[in-house]
Amino acid sequence: MAADPPPSPRTRVVLAEAATRRTADRARTDLAEQTPVGEALVKGLVRAQLALALRLSLLVAAGLGTLPLLFAAAPAVGAFTVFGIHLPWLLLGLLSFPFLVGVGAAYVRWAERNEQDFAALIRRPEQ
């Protein structure tokens, strides 16, 4: 008897993978060709980044801007000394820098998260 030929390797065909690829490609095409959908996606990202910047700017303005008002309204607080340094000099001249660095680090972290969410939106299939 003749030997049976070896079985051919099996190929797995999944329709969902093709649909996912087409949807992701469509979103990338919308961005590349600057279609109205692509423009709306980019405007959404820009709007999210602007909102983040405005919120953190408001935090800095409230945090550092109210201190001179406090010292003007309550001179006794401005005359308080810590380790021989007047409180206004300590807060505005020394401790404001770590505060600003912290706000900057938070901005970078949250802005990157916005960009990652945008990239995930582009890669995610439409549902």
pLDDT digits (tens, 9 = 90+) for 12-66: 666 555 555 555 566 667 666 677 877 888 888 899 999 999 999 999 999 988 8
Residue 39 lies in a domain: no
Residue 125 lies in a domain: yes
Cα 123 from Cα 111, distance rounded (Å): 19
Tokens 């980019």 -> residue:
42
Q: What is the pLDDT of residue 105?
A: 97
For residue 90, being part of any structural domain is answered with yes
Q: Residue 109 — pLDDT band, cuts 50, 70, 90?
A: very high
What pLDDT was estimated at residue 122? 81
pTM of the model as a whole: 0.66
Alpha-carbon gap, residue 89 to 103, rounded angstroms: 20
> Domain total for the chain?
1
Is 117 a member of any domain?
Answer: yes
**Residue 74 sits in which domain range?**
48-127
Q: How distant, in Å, are the alpha carbons of 50, 64, 70, 91, 96 from that of 82?
A: 38, 19, 17, 10, 16
Report if residue 126 sits inside a domain: yes
Q: Is residue 34 part of a domain?
A: no
Would 82 be classed as within a structural domain?
yes
Query: Does residue 40 lie in a domain region?
Result: no
